[in-house]
Each structure stands twice: as structure tokens, then as C-alpha cells.
Amino acid sequence: MAREDFAIWHCGRHEVSLARPRIMGVLEVGNTLSCDQAIERGKAMLDEGADLLDICARPPRSKKAGASSLTSSSKAEAELIVPVVRGLTQTGAAICVSTPHADVAKICVRLGAAAINDPSGFTGEGMVKVAAETDCGCVILCNNEFRSNSSRRSVVLDQAHTPMRPVPSNRRFTLPEEAPVMREIMGFLGDQARLLMRSGVSHDRICVDPGPGLNKTTDEDIIIQRNAKKLVSMGFPLLQAVSRKGFSSVVAGAKEAGAATTGLSVWGVQAGARVLRVHEVARVFEAVNAYWAVSQADARQGFISLGSNVGDRLGYLSRAVRLIDQIPMTCVVAVSSAYETEPAYGIATPVANAVAEIRTELHPLVLLDQLLAVENKLDRVRDPKQAGHGPRTIDCDLLWIEGESHCGAHLTLPHPHLGERDYVLVPMEDLMHDPVRFFTHAGVTVAKPEDRVGHVMSELGRLDWK
């Protein structure tokens, strides 16, 4: 039976939920981006909606026609990408590294990289050893340049873009026969997956990429896209990497590669791909969110912390809950009592706090923008000199969303200070039996009551929000 929903892709310490599509932002270091610029661009991609970042080296190409950037030495590649990996892993984001060099992959995994995207499809013993000795995620890529050199395959390709099967001179159909093309690709991916598993790599760490645009003809690339569901049926998460591939512009007549990539990405999600490797993150993020919102019923549990220390505090809390309940594709399920809490994080006066439990079908970044709009409607004033901790009519903090994790300057999930806030954990007791156990199970480190901030001083009563 074909499987289309894969719960988790295990990548080191990251458990990437594939209950919805994930976007892997491509970060090419070298030609135009310095190390510092690449790190800043990576952080921006996270705020644009990237769930993972794929870092690859793009040193200046050889003047020799057809020279591949993958021919660079491992030392040169490491000098480009290792500092970027080091900088971006510090954000807590899930980092994937594209490299054919085992020594570079090993260094990056030690620095905290979550996954390896091997252009050679793990045909080298060194890369298989790195995968077996670590717990990183593994992307098996079918690149004919490397597949032809594998002793396990019988097809020999002598030049780039040579078709996997000879094209007859008297063609009578628009595309070659599909079966031989898919048999070669699925055979290679299956062989390499079994090789990794025999070496000790667990099934749930493996993701497959048929390698569109990599030494394949345009016709073959179209066949791959049309047969994406067959690739999904192999039982591994499918990564779609059509961004800036020549075939997409050819078939779309696109003047701008990004538009063709967006269309193909939406098709990939419909066919079952759950990881989209793209350069233009913001564009694909919006398109996939729109498609997912209208095609899938995907409600998630979530919690929002509410605080007010200006004016009619309980009134502001109640109005905020009503406004949250009006957010599209979102509803409030329950709300805790309001509590008087000690000031924390530099706030001068006591705060009235509560926690709302919600169900939402919005992407967390989209929901966050809606929460900021709620704050604006309730006349919150932000003083840039006080780093968000000044007096406020209302503060809406997105704490946790079921199956979601994110690292970025705009949003971090779970909330990085969730486990230390007494004014969150005590109100949560109104909503569930044991919030400490709940969040600990979700991977949140919860402080002991005496070590928390913003301790609850008294109960202020129920909120009138319905």
C-alpha cells in the first residue's frame, strides 16, 4: 500500500514532523555570499518560513566547459561551509549539509548538522560510514553522474545529460517509456537505502530524492514528476528538489525560474512529497500554505500566553481571547483563570496573566502575524528601548503548537522561555492535569517552582470572553 503521511524524519536531535510539508531553504555559499552574509541569509530564510536549511558550497566554477562545482577539494569546500554551519547551528535550526566529501560531512555533523544530503547517493564507503556512526538524517540523491560510477549499476553514462535509456530515432510519442526510467531511479534509491540500513542507519532517518535536473533529460525529469506517487510508495519521505532546474523553465515557458518552481512545488505536495528543497523560500511558503489550507483539514492543538499590566487588565485579556477566537481557521477551546503575577524581565508592575488553549489550521508563522494584529487592535505600544518588556495593554505569546518546532528571530517554537515561567505553568494547570509532564514529554526543560520567574501571587477570577 502506498504511504503518503510520514510522521517523523529523525535527523539527529531534531524530529522533523512530516504531517505537513516542510521547506528546506537552499543556502549556496561561495560565489556571491561570504560567510557572514550566508549566516544572515540563513536566518532570514528561517523567518521566511524555512523549516530546514541546506548548506552547500558553490566555489567559482572552472573555466573548462561543463566543469562541475562538485570537483572542488574537500578542504576548499570545508573552508566555505563549515563556518556557516557553525554559525547557523547556534540558532537551534535543523541544518542539512550537501557534500560528496565524507570528511566534510563528519565535521559538520559534529558541529550539530542534522542531516547529510549526499550528491553521490551514498555510493562512497566513507559517507556510508559517517551515516552509520552518527544519528543524522540521510538524503539519498539519484545523480546519474555518480550512479553510473557505482559498481552496483550496469548502465554507463559518458557525458552530462545522457538519457538513462537511448531515445529511438523514430520517436512516435511525446515521452519515452516510463517504466525503464522509473525502474532505474527506484532501483538505485532502493539499493542505497538497503545499503544504509544494513550498515546500521534506521529506516526513519532516510529520505529519498530522485534528482531531477541532475544529468537527466527534460523528458526524464517530467516522467519523474508524473510518477512521484510511485516514489512515495517506496516507504521513505520524498524530497522534491526542482528549484532552479532547467527543465522547469523549459516546460513552463517561464521567464522567471521561481514561478515554475512554485507550481512544481505545489504539485509535489499533492503527489506526496513532504520536503521541498527551494531557493525562493518566501514564495513557496505562501503558495504551499495556501494549497494546504484549502486542501487539508489539519487542526493542531496550541497554547497562547496572555498578559496585561496597563489599564483594565482583565478587560484586555478578555477582549484578546475574543479576537483570537475570530482568527480564521482558529478557535479558542478553553481559557484559564487570570492570575496576578510578579513582574519579570524588567517589567515594573505586577501583571495579569492567563493561558488560552486553541485549535488552529494556520501555519505558526501565519498565526503569529495574526496575534501581532490582535496586539495592535488593543493598542499595544512597543518601546524599542525596552526590548518588548515594557508596559503593555496586551501581550500574546505563542507558546507551543502540536507537532511544530521552529527557530528564527521572528518565532521560536516551543517558546524558549516556556519552562521557566510560573505565570504560564500555573495557569496551565487549569487546562490540563500535569503541564510539567506534558511539556517535559514535548522536549521542554521545565524549571522547579522555586527557580521560575513571574511567580503567581493570587487568582483574579475567570475571564468573560464568550
Show the CA angle centred on residue 17, arms to residues 13 and 22, nearest 5°: 105
Q: pLDDT of 235-247, one tens digit each? A: 999 999 999 888 8
| DSSP, residue by residue, 241-301 | --TT-HHHHHHHT-SSHHHHHHHHHHHHHHHT--EEEES-HHHHHHHHHHHHHHH----EE
What SS3 class is residue 91?
coil
Can you read off the three cell numbers belonging to residue 182? 522509473
Q: Scanning the structure block, which residue is given the C-alpha cell 503593555?
A: 392
Secondary element (H or E) of residue 377: helix 364-377
Residue 163 has pLDDT above 70, yes or no: no
**Burial level of 1, CB count in 10 A (0-12/13-18/19+)?**
exposed
Residue spans in the chain of domains classed CATH 3.30.70.560: 300-461
Secondary element (H or E) of residue 366: helix 364-377
Q: Which is it for the CA torsion 437, 443, 449, 453, positive or negative?
A: negative
- Predicted local confidence at residue 258, as pLDDT: 80
- Give the C-alpha separation, 143 to 166, whole Å: 18
What SS3 class is residue 343?
coil
For 124-144, what is the mean pLDDT? 95
Q: Which CATH number fits domain 6-60+69-164+173-295: 3.20.20.70, 3.30.2040.10, 3.20.20.20, 3.10.129.10?
A: 3.20.20.20
Q: Nearest Cα to 355, choosing from 197, 465, 203, 278?
A: 465
- Predicted local confidence at residue 386, as pLDDT: 65
| Cβ–Cβ under 8 Å, residues 136 and 112 | no
Residue 170 has pLDDT above 70, yes or no: no
| Average pLDDT in the chain | 89
Buried/exposed code over 149-167 (b: 16+ C-beta within 10 A; e: otherwise)? ebeebeeebeeeebebbee
| Cβ–Cβ under 8 Å, residues 144 and 162 | yes
- The single-letter DSSP state of residue 182 is H
For 340-348, what is the mean pLDDT? 91
What SS3 class is residue 163?
coil
Question: What percent of the chain is predicted at pLDDT more than 70?
Answer: 88
Peptide bond into 414 cis (omega under 30): yes
- Predicted local confidence at residue 67, as pLDDT: 40
- Specify the CATH architecture of the domain 300-461: 2-Layer Sandwich (3.30)
Residue spans in the chain of domains classed CATH 3.20.20.20: 6-60+69-164+173-295
What SS3 class is residue 89?
helix
Of the pLDDT bands very low, low, confident and very high (cuts 50, 70, 90), residue 388 is low
More confident residue, 4 or 60: 60
Q: pLDDT of 253-286, one tens digit each? A: 766 678 888 999 999 999 999 999 999 999 999 9
| Cβ–Cβ under 8 Å, residues 131 and 116 | yes
Greatest Cα pair distance in the chain: 85
The number of residues in the chain equals: 466
Helices of type H across 175-217: 178-198
- Give the C-alpha separation, 414 to 347, whole Å: 23
- Cα dist from 105 to 41, 85, 273, 407, whole Å: 21, 11, 25, 22
**Burial level of 462, CB count in 10 A (0-12/13-18/19+)?**
middle
Can you read off the three cell numbers belonging to residue 301? 492543538
Of the pLDDT bands very low, low, confident and very high (cuts 50, 70, 90), residue 171 is low
Residue 2 has pLDDT above 80, yes or no: no
Q: Report helix, strand and coil shares of the chain as percent, to nearest 5.
A: 40, 20, 40
Residue 63 has pLDDT above 50, yes or no: no
Residue 79 has pLDDT above 60, yes or no: yes
Q: Scanning the structure block, which residue is given the C-alpha cell 508563522?
A: 365
- Predicted local confidence at residue 248, as pLDDT: 78
For 417-446, what is the mean pLDDT? 96
- Cα dist from 243 to 78, 277, 384, 440, 461, whole Å: 24, 7, 38, 38, 54
- The single-letter DSSP state of residue 420 is G
Beta bridge partners of 26: 54
For 194-198, what is the mean pLDDT? 98
